[in-house]
Amino acid sequence: MQGILLGAHGLFVILSLVAFGFRAHAHVSEAPWAGHPRIRLLGHGLDGGLLLSALALCGSFGLWPFQAGWLTAKLIALVVYALCGVLAFRVLKDPMAKLGAVAVGLLAFAYSAAVAQAHAVLPL
């Protein structure tokens, strides 16, 4: 069962990142379809799947955020990633500011992935 959950989580990681990239490109280039409700719903669905698969994995391993430092760091990084998405896709109007939020979001995502691989707060 853990193998299936791990595979599903990995798939959601990739799909979430790809969707973030497409939405970022659309918003920075001010494409007319960037704010379409279905595009937004797709992002929410993928990120929801990412979160649910992560929670299922935590449960299967008996680990929870604030119990393991690396898992807490991963969770905080994913919150930063989500907040950067909100800033880039809803709040900010200037394309360069949006690009900055996207860059910080991608860095947070990369940090989260590195923490997940290393199971360490400082994945070196």
Q: Does any domain span residue 124? A: no
Residue 114 has pLDDT above 90, yes or no: yes
The CA R_g of the chain, rounded to the nearest whole Å, is 15
Are the C-beta atoms of 84 and 105 separated by less than 8 Å?
yes
Question: For residue 29, what are the domain limits?
Answer: 2-118
CA dist 76 and 82 (Å) reads 10
Cα–Cα–Cα angle for 37, 43, 47, rounded to 5 degrees: 145
Whether 50 is in a domain gets the answer: yes
State whether residue 30 is helix, strand or coil: coil
CB 42 within 8 A of CB 83: no
| pLDDT for res 34 | 87
**Count of domains observed in the chain:** 1
Choose among 42, 45, 49, 48: nearest CA to 7.
49
The pLDDT of residue 30 is: 87
Task: Give the model confidence (pLDDT) of 70-113 as tens digits.
Answer: 999 998 999 999 999 999 999 999 999 999 999 999 999 999 99
Judged against a pLDDT cut of 90, whether residue 121 lies above it is answered with yes
What's the longest Cα–Cα distance across the chain? 45
Instruction: Kindly report, residue by residue over 23-81, the tens digit of the pLDDT.
Output: 999 988 889 998 899 998 998 899 899 989 988 999 998 988 888 999 999 989 999 99
Q: Say if 38 falls within a structural domain.
A: yes
Q: Is the pLDDT of residue 124 over 90?
A: no
The verdict on residue 87 lying in a domain is yes
What's the confidence (pLDDT) of residue 88? 93
**Considering the domain boundaries, does residue 123 fall inside one?**
no
pTM across the whole model: 0.89
